[in-house]
Every structure is written in structure tokens, then in C-alpha cells.
Amino acid sequence: MGGFFLVIVLTVILATDMDGVPDDFLVEHLKSNQILYSSPHPMAHLSIMLLAVGYGMDLDERAGCPHFTMGAIAAPCFPVLTFVIMKYAQHRRRRSGMMFSGGGKSFPLGKNVFSTWADLLLDHDTTSRTSAPQGV
């Protein structure tokens, strides 16, 4: 349960961090901090895995079996299944990106597993931020 609390707190911290970045610099900020901004997703999956293993061990103890049995072995299957579904969704995003590419346009979708938003961060032209000449 502590893992889920950490994910919630980290998400709130990252949301307030993004609020403090001007819109002109937001794309560059997200690119340079991609690992930080994508960390809540793997943390949530790790928390699900630990919670499922703990639940499986609890079921084994309630059944009265003192040995490591089926509950603790089967419990991680749920988070593994969610990860398999996530990888399948990544594959489908990659396939959609290839299907929509063409005519000089490229959509590099499906590169990232945990931070799907990072696929949408295109190279951003920073030269447009130069200040306009004053007066005339």
C-alpha cells in the first residue's frame, strides 16, 4: 500500500512541477525529464506485483498450509498479465504509427512502454522564441 501512496504523492509533485514550467519550455522540459515523468507508471506496476504476492501469501496462510503454495505462485500472474496487455498495446500503437506514416510524415508511435506521451514529443524548434525587435 505504501507503493501506491508513493505513486500518488509523486504524481502530485510532478503535476505541480509542470505547472511551474512556462508553456514555451514545456516540451523541452518533458524531453529532458522523461525518466522522472514516466516513473509513476512502473512504480504502480511494482506496487501491484508486491500487493498481489502479499495477497497470495495471505491466502496460503488462511488456508492453513505452512508451505509456499499455489497462492503466492499464482498471484504474480495478474501483474504479469497487465504487463503483457501493455506490451500488446505498445505493439498496436507502433503498427498504427506505421500505418499512418507516409507522404513525408512519420509518426514514431510505440517506442515507449511506460510513457506513451513521450512518443508525441516531436523535435521542437527553439529558434522561434527569439524576441522580436522593439519599436517601429
Of 123, 99, 97, the closest CA to residue 110 belongs to: 97
78-133: pLDDT as tens digits: 778 888 888 898 888 888 877 777 766 666 777 777 777 777 666 544 444 444 44
27-78: pLDDT as tens digits: 888 888 888 888 888 888 888 888 887 887 777 777 766 666 677 677 778 7
pTM, to two decimals: 0.62
Residue 128 counted as domain residue: no
Residue 134 counted as domain residue: no
C-beta separation of 115 from 37 below 8 A: yes
Residue 80 counted as domain residue: yes
d(CA 116, CA 106): 16
Residue 130 counted as domain residue: no
Q: Total domain count for the chain? A: 1
Contacts of 64 by beta carbon, 8 Å cutoff, 6+ apart:
none
Residue 103 counted as domain residue: yes
**Element at 87 (helix H, strand E):** helix 77-100
SS3 102: strand
Residue 63 counted as domain residue: yes
Q: Give the domain extent around 91.
A: 2-122
Residue 115 counted as domain residue: yes
Residue 133 counted as domain residue: no
